[in-house]
Amino acid sequence: MFKKILVANRGEIAVRILRACRELGIPTVAVFSEADRNALHVRYADEAYLLGPAPSRDSYLRADKIIEVARKCGADAIHPGYGFLAEREAFAAACIDAGITFIGPKPSAIAAMGDKMTARNTVTAAGVPVVPGTEGKGGMNDDDLLAFAPKIGFPLLIKASAGGGGKGMREVTSLEEMPALLASARREAESAFGDGNVYLEKLVEGARHIEIQILADQHGNAIYLGERDCSIQRRHQKLIEEAPSPFMDEELRSKMGAVAVKAAQAVEYVNAGTIEFLVDKERNFYFLEMNTRLQVEHPVTELVTGIDIVAEQIRIARGRQLSYKQEDVRLRGHAIECRVNAEDPYNGFMPSTGRVTLSIVPTGPGVRVDTSVYSGIEISPFYDPMIAKLIVWGETRGQAILRMRRALEEYRIVGVRTNIPFHQTMMDSHRFMGGQYDTRFVEERFSMPELDEERVTHHPEIAAAFATLVAHHEAQRSSEFVMRNERDTSNWKWVGRWERLHR
């Protein structure tokens, strides 16, 4: 096994990975920024090293420092988690050059899937269906694209080659408006990725976003672990994921699973990865992109397959065979994940920062909470607003929804606003309950109910009464008779008690 694993990440995913290492008996190293001195991942790891100031580029994105820490402390593997350095080809290559195992795919696979147009061309050659659009080489100029557009037909989408996450994407309904949209898409892509290349695809309307989790080892074995439905999202931020998809049947699952494995094999993929598809109402599916990393929503797959994806990642990186064959993978029950964000759903999902004065986490049958937030921690504005993932499992989708409602009710976070009320509203929505949603659902057909004024109005007299009660209780406690043994004659203790009594 590895001698020591360095986790190049923060937050809940760092803790998730550290837990897998702990179970496998592998010593761990955490890295952290100045804003994360009190973070749970720092406390959980066997060792922890400061990287630098709070901004990501000065800390969690410092590939050089992270590799230096790994070298100095004798870590022989690095797990990048998601985000930050997880999909940087250069970082994976630098790890290998330093003689450290990068727990993830080869740099060449990261590169091939990182450029969306290259990915599209590569998987097309392997027989994977993509949305009709501009085929072949990249770097088409505006004249070429304008000439090609009518062959695709409208409405269509302009997409950034270097893109992903909807950046540089434009919907085009007619040829007339296309030149201006091409210009603005290129500008946005250039400033976001330093690459203004774009391509075209026919717009697939009313589609669901369904992704397939795959695992591949270094010996040519590759399996799929079923799908996740991630259509509940807002502005390209996923909010709820579930497995299996309420839209799916066994026939479509095995078809998409086989295609996902083909897409992975087209880039000689090794380790855990996810292939994203659009699935239209007629159940046609199209490759969108591949994420060459562990994903936020991996727990729903873990709950329905019983497979520890992070433990498998470590095994694979170590050079072992997959622990499972395709026929060993059976789906049982239903899992739903709600991403708990420090955002105010009553105020345009505005980020909310500050100290979490109280965090009471739901537990009980079928409930899993992946979080790094505890009472007293400070939510800083430097990183992602996601503070927890609440994941439930049920024998049926109905039971999972009932459990999610119960768990959301138990969850108490005081000090910052969270989107828990959004999730509660969603769990009561008839469309969600019926599984009838697509990627536009949250933005176009969903709204929060009016806020119950009574519940949020400040009640200064009640607050004052509570403050008096707390002060009184503290005073009582300090005047309680405390047994002292003979030798306990600390003057500091005595003075402290005296001071408190006379406050």
Catalytic residue IDs: 293
439 binds ligand MV4 (CB under 6 A): yes
56 binds ligand MV4 (CB under 6 A): no
- Closest to ligand MV4 by CB, 89 vs 201, is 201
Which residue in the set 203, 252, 311, 361 belongs to the binding site for ligand MV4 (CB under 6 A)? 203
Which residue in the set 36, 87, 188, 201 belongs to the binding site for ligand MV4 (CB under 6 A)? 201
- Closest to ligand MV4 by CB, 288 vs 356, is 288
By CB under 6 A, how many residues form the interface with ligand MV4? 18
Strands 358-360 and 412-414: antiparallel
Which residue in the set 8, 149, 278, 309 belongs to the binding site for ligand MV4 (CB under 6 A)? 278
484 binds ligand MV4 (CB under 6 A): no
166 binds ligand MV4 (CB under 6 A): yes
For the CB of residue 477, give the shortest distance to ligand MV4 in the complex, in Å: 54
- Closest to ligand MV4 by CB, 69 vs 204, is 204
Return the closest-CA partner of residue 414 out of 354, 362, 471, 482. Answer: 354
402 binds ligand MV4 (CB under 6 A): no
For the CB of residue 276, give the shortest distance to ligand MV4 in the complex, in Å: 6
Angle in degrees, 0-180, between the axes of helices 309-317 and 11-24, rounded to the nearest 10: 70
Which residue blocks in 318-396 are alpha helix, DSSP H?
none
115 binds ligand MV4 (CB under 6 A): no
CA distance 207 to 205: 5
For the CB of residue 28, give the shortest distance to ligand MV4 in the complex, in Å: 33
Rg of the chain (C-alpha set): 25
Q: Name residues whose C-beta falls within 8 Å of residue 87's C-beta, 6 or more positions apart in sequence.
A: 110, 114, 291, 292, 293
CB–CB of 318/303 below 8 Å? no
Which residue in the set 209, 228, 334, 403 belongs to the binding site for ligand MV4 (CB under 6 A)? 209
Residue 17's H or E segment, with its range, is helix 11-24
**Coil, strand, or helix at residue 375?**
coil
- For residue 21 the two structure tokens come to 């290492």
- The tokens 């709600």 sit on which residue? 338
Give the CB-side neighbour count of residue 471, counting CA atoms within 13 A.
Answer: 8
For the CB of residue 251, give the shortest distance to ligand MV4 in the complex, in Å: 23
∠ CA 163-165-169, rounded to 5°: 60
Q: For the residues of 441-467, what is the DSSP string, one character each?
A: HHHHH--PPPP-HHHHS--HHHHHHHH
160 binds ligand MV4 (CB under 6 A): no
153 binds ligand MV4 (CB under 6 A): no
161 binds ligand MV4 (CB under 6 A): no
Q: Is the peptide bond prior to 362 cis by the omega test (within 30 degrees of 0)? A: no
220 binds ligand MV4 (CB under 6 A): no
- Closest to ligand MV4 by CB, 199 vs 269, is 199
The site for ligand MV4 (CB under 6 A) is made up of 131, 157, 164-166, 169, 201-204, 207, 209, 233, 236, 278, 288-289, 439
